[in-house]
Each structure stands twice: as structure tokens, then as C-alpha cells.
Amino acid sequence: MSSPAALRIVRSAPAFREQLEIDTDLKSTHSLHQGVVFPFDMPAAVANYLVQRFTSREGLVLDPFAGSGSALLEAALLGRIAVGAETDPLGSRIAHAKLLPSDLTEVTLALQLLNLRRPVDLKMFRDCFTPFFDLETFREIVNLRAALQSRDDPVHRFIEFVAMSILHGHTVSFLSTYTFPQVSVSPEEQVSINRKRQQQPEYRAVAPRLLRKTAALLRDGIPSVARAHMKRHVMRRADPRDLEFVEPSSVQLLMTAPPTPFQADVRSDLWLRYWFSGTEAPTTEQFHQGSDLVDWVDYMNEVLLEGARVVTARGRAVFDLPEVRVRDREYALDEILADSVQANLSRFWEVEGILIYRKRSAKQRDCIRGGGQVPFGDSNRILVLKRRA
């Protein structure tokens, strides 16, 4: 879709280019952010800044690549109405649960009604799960999983989110023996971790850990301004290029960290969570970001075309893009996308500015395996587009 050189509009400089000082450490954010998070989600502190800068109270914030809902949760906590689309069923479930949190009493009551001690199929245990869990713990996990999957209401979805947040990790608060908390390693890799650490899975009672984690996630409380709109949030499994459930000209801010070219495919690193939630990772064909820059730009143009339909006049679209360095070549994705917008979509969008922030916490990058072929720079750039009237 990139236009021939002769037809290219001469790029006008963005109105602003600002360096932001934002503390992106997860620890300084609302406690609900400390549940399971997808790799590459937008840092909550960045979402907080963007929502405050570009929206007013009760404004509608859309994330068409909602991931596990970090950006949307922050919008909701600030009293905005959150609308999200996500193609990955696991991300969509997690995001949905974060937008509709239950309270500790609801979780306690629901847990009291579950029988976690029923006998379970041991073949499955021996095939993949022995390196991670003790048998009694596994029995409780399987019973919890079956009970959660047979009920589709906000409390059980929230418990599922809490359970996925403690499914595996490195302390006794988790249900597994020592392993990585974000990445689900393969059973073979876990066997080798166990051998190195001379460890064996021990019994970890599920219910008390779920209650403790629920209390921790809800520690900061849900602000009343957020509570008021809880029923108005919408989270769907949908293609970002076809948001038929979003009204025309209704969105004040389209805010997202979209998929980017050269991004590591982390779906296999989430296998234990896909298993627990009974969801399947989208196939590679369902994902278009590929490794091809031209494909990515075309895809993002389609997303922006749909964005132009739903974003209100003078509303914004903001894209949080990493600095990408591949085989010693640097790609300024913000500039590449800005160029394409000016060449192809200038009827709808004006390139307003670039915001740059430094990722202080390397934590998220460090937890991505196979990242060797995808080294990121230290900064992210946010491309700000303004919807023309």
C-alpha cells in the first residue's frame, strides 16, 4: 500500500517531540496490575499518562490489541470507559477479568462451593506436569480448572485470572516448584531446572494461595470512579480491523502497544496458561505481524482505517512502539508508520507528535526468551495521531 515516490506527500514535522520521565516499574502501579501480564503489554504508568493527557472523565478508550488488558485496566482505574478487542482468547479472558474484578468475599464464597479433591486422570499428569507440580496440588488444580471452565460468570473468570497469576513461579506463593513466573518452560527444561536445583515439587494447597493472591491483587481497592463504570466496559475477541461492536465516532482515545514486526513469538511460552484456561493459541496464519515491514505497515493502515471510523473528530490514536534493532539495523517504527499515515491516510489522520520514554525496568524484556533475534533498544516511542474533523 506504500505509494510511489512521485506521489509521496512531503513529510511535515510532527508538532511536538517530547522526552517523558515515566517510572515504568510495575511495583509502583495499582495492585491489580500485579497479576498475569502478557509480554509486550504497555506499561501501566505510560497508559496512565496518555489517558490523563488525551481524555476527559468518562471518555471512551479503545485498545484494539488489548493483550492482557494492562492499558485498558489503567484507563478503567482512571474512570474512563474501556473498550477492547483481542484475537487471542487467553489475552481476552485475562483482560475481561481485570476489567470486572470480584471482591474477596465473592471469591471466598465461590471457592467454598468447589470440591478440589476429586480423583483425576494420572496419565495427563505423567505426560507433562510431573516436573512442575506435586500430585495432590495437581489434583486440586485440575478440579479447579474443570469447575472454572464449566461456569461463565465474572466471579469464576476473576478466580481464573488469579489462578493463572500463581500457576507457576519462583516462591512458595505459587503452585509449582521453583520455575519462571512469566514464562512457562517446557517439561524437559523444568526437569533440568529441578536437577540443577536438586528440587522436587512439594504440596502447595491451592485455596489459601488463591485467597492470599486475591487479597494482594485487590490491596489498592477499586476507586469509586472506576466502580461506577464497571458494567460499561466491553472486551471482545475481535479482529482489530473490524470493530463492528464499536459505534462510529465514539472513541476519544485509541491507545495501544500493537504487534510489531520482528517480535518474538511468545505463544509457546504461555502453554501452561493456555492449558489451564482451556484456550488455544492463535495460529501463525491468524497473526499478520510476520517479520515483514511492508506487511506490517499495510496491516497497521487497515487498523487505522477502522480507527478513523470509530475515533471522534480531534480524538487521538497513540501507538507505543519499541525501538527495534535487528542484525545491527535500527528501525524507527514510529517514523515508518508516520510516513505511511501521511502518504496514505492524511485525509483522516494528522501526525501530531512523538513521545519518547525510557524503559527503566528491564524486567519485561528479560522474561522474553528467544529474544536473541529481537533485541530491543532502551526507549519506546509513542506516535500520536489526531483525527481530522
To ligand SAM, the closest distance from the beta carbon of 359 in angstroms equals 14
Q: Are 184 and 271 in contact (CB under 8 A)?
A: yes
Residue matched to cell numbers 496440588: 137
Here's the x/- map for ligand SAM, 187-226, by CB under 6 A: it reads as ----------------------------------------
Q: Give the span between the Cα atoms of 37 and 213, in whole angstroms.
A: 15
Q: Give the span between the Cα atoms of 73 and 79, in whole angstroms.
A: 10
Nearer to ligand SAM, 258 or 353 (CB): 258
To ligand SAM, the closest distance from the beta carbon of 267 in angstroms equals 8
Nearer to ligand SAM, 129 or 296 (CB): 296
To ligand SAM, the closest distance from the beta carbon of 89 in angstroms equals 9
Distance of CA 168 to the CA centre of its chain: 18
Q: Is 339 in the site for ligand SAM (CB under 6 A)?
A: no
To ligand SAM, the closest distance from the beta carbon of 274 in angstroms equals 12
Nearer to ligand SAM, 102 or 256 (CB): 256
Nearer to ligand SAM, 41 or 339 (CB): 41
To ligand SAM, the closest distance from the beta carbon of 298 in angstroms equals 12
- The contacts of residue 192 (CB under 8 Å, 6+ apart) are none
Write out 105-158 in H/E/C secondary structure. Answer: HHHHHHHHCCCCCCCCCHHHHHHHHCCCCCHHHHHHHHHHHHHHHCCCCHHHHH
Angle, alpha carbons 161-162-166 (nearest 5°)? 115
Strand ranges (E), 243-347:
251-256, 311-326, 329-331
Here's the x/- map for ligand SAM, 280-299, by CB under 6 A: it reads as -------xxx----------
To ligand SAM, the closest distance from the beta carbon of 84 in angstroms equals 8
Q: Cα dist. 135→140, 201, 210, 278 in Å?
A: 9, 9, 18, 20
All three cell numbers of 367, joined, read: 522474561
Residue 248, number of CB atoms within 10 A of its CB: 10
Q: How many residues bind ligand SAM (CB under 6 A)?
A: 21
- The contacts of residue 188 (CB under 8 Å, 6+ apart) are none
To ligand SAM, the closest distance from the beta carbon of 221 in angstroms equals 22
Q: Are 31 and 220 in contact (CB under 8 A)?
A: yes
To ligand SAM, the closest distance from the beta carbon of 287 in angstroms equals 4
Residues within window 36-95 making contact with ligand SAM, judged by CB under 6 A: 38, 40-42, 63, 65-67, 70-71, 86-88, 91
Residues within window 91-130 making contact with ligand SAM, judged by CB under 6 A: 91
Q: Give the span between the Cα atoms of 111 and 2, in whole angstroms.
A: 55
Residue 19, number of CB atoms within 10 A of its CB: 10
Q: Work out which of 240, 307, 315, 353 binds ligand SAM, going by CB under 6 A.
A: 240
To ligand SAM, the closest distance from the beta carbon of 37 in angstroms equals 8
Residues within window 256-275 making contact with ligand SAM, judged by CB under 6 A: 256-257, 259
Nearer to ligand SAM, 114 or 382 (CB): 382
Tell me the pairing of strands 311-326 and 234-236: unpaired
The amino acid at residue 132 is: F
Nearer to ligand SAM, 257 or 311 (CB): 257
To ligand SAM, the closest distance from the beta carbon of 50 in angstroms equals 10
Sole window of 25-33, 131-139, 204-212, 253-261 interacting with ligand SAM (rule: CB under 6 A): 253-261
Nearer to ligand SAM, 202 or 242 (CB): 242
Residue matched to cell numbers 472506576: 226
Report the sign of the C-alpha dihedral through residues 7, 13, 16, 17, in that order: positive
Residue 140 main-chain phi, psi, to 5 deg: -65, -40
3-state SS, residue 362: coil
Residues of this chain that interact with ligand SAM (CB under 6 A) are: 38, 40-42, 63, 65-67, 70-71, 86-88, 91, 240, 256-257, 259, 287-289
